[in-house]
Structure 1
Amino acid sequence: MTMILGVAAAAVLGALAGLHFFWASGGRWGGSVVIPELDGKAAFMPTPMATSVVGVLLLGAAGVALTAAGVRVLPLPFEWVRAGTGLLSAAFFLRVVGDFRYVGLFKRHRGTRFAQMDDRLYMPLCIGLAGALAAVVLLPR
């Protein structure tokens, strides 16, 4: 069970990494609803370098998830991998809670396209990733 959850989480993380690399290289598909909005404009605009860094971090997270699930990828002590997987789970859970402004359950800025996507897709995705990664850490292999 943990292997299935870990591989599924890694697949999602890998797909998200690919999407970030697509955006970093100039792709536009989906890009209009991934940045929080304020007064009809993007609240911030990430650079291609920052977007690439997020892609690399997501790929690293996928590697950690695969290693924690028993698919040997990273040559690290298992306790480090387990701790890293727990931290990833916590990070996705915190993303669900949000920043109390633009993202998450307690966001104040609602009614934008981003806020709708956050409620319908981004938060459920983060809940699923947090749960899958927590299960990989907590359930026996």
Structure 2
Amino acid sequence: MTHVFPISSALFLVIVSLLHFYWAFGGKWGTDSVIPTTADHSRPTFSPGKGGTVVVACLLTCAAYLLLAQSGYLPPVLAPALIQWGCIVCAAVFVLRAVGDFNYIGFFKKVKNTKFARQDTALFTPLCLWLGISFLLVLF
């Protein structure tokens, strides 16, 4: 059971990273439901640029590495303390993402009737909680 969290979580992180690279270089599949929109569906709450999307993709790949290195599946290329602190930061980021901004994202969002909000409730937020728990588990 202890292998399930880091391996499945790293796989999810790599898949989501590849999706971000796909979107950064012009892919359109899935883009209609991955950006929060206002309550009246009139506009997205933000417009990610190519550079920002590439940065997110790279960070997700780094997070997968940190998870696998901390759990012993990959050799460390960073100091163990940096890997551990990286996992702490990742755990915090993913748990905070699951909690949300109390408006458009997370378990406590107010806007719940958009396509993104439904996807967020069903998929994105539980995945973030899963990832946050995975990072916490590999620390102990």
For the residues of structure 2 that align with 1:119 and 1:35, how far apart are their CA atoms? 13
3-state SS of the aligned residue for 1:16? helix
Using the TM superposition, give the Cα deviation of residue 2 of structure 1 relative to its aligned residue in structure 2, in angstroms.
Answer: 4.1
1:67 Cα offset (Å)? 0.5
Gaps of 5+ in 2: none
Count of equivalent residues: 138
Distance 1:83 1:3 in 2: 21
1:47-88 Cα shifts (integer Å, max 9, x gaps): 111111100110111111110110234412222212211221
Unaligned stretches of 5+ residues in structure 1: none
1:100 match: 102
1:6 aligned residue: 6
User: Following the alignment from structure 1 to structure 2, what is the Cα–Cα distance between the partners of residues 88 and 108?
Assistant: 25
Give SS of 1:37's match.
Answer: coil
Q: Which amino acid aligns with 1:69?
A: S
Structure with the bigger RCO (C-alpha within 8 Å, sep 6+) is: 1
Percent identity for Structure 1 against Structure 2: 38
Per-residue displacement from partner, 1:81-123 (whole Å, max 9, x unpaired)? 1221122111111001101111011212120011100100001
TM-score by length of 1: 0.91
Cα deviation, residue 42, structure 1: 1.1
Structure 2 counterpart of 1:58, from 60, 65, 69: 60
- What is the RMSD of the two structures over their aligned residues, measured on CA atoms? 1.4
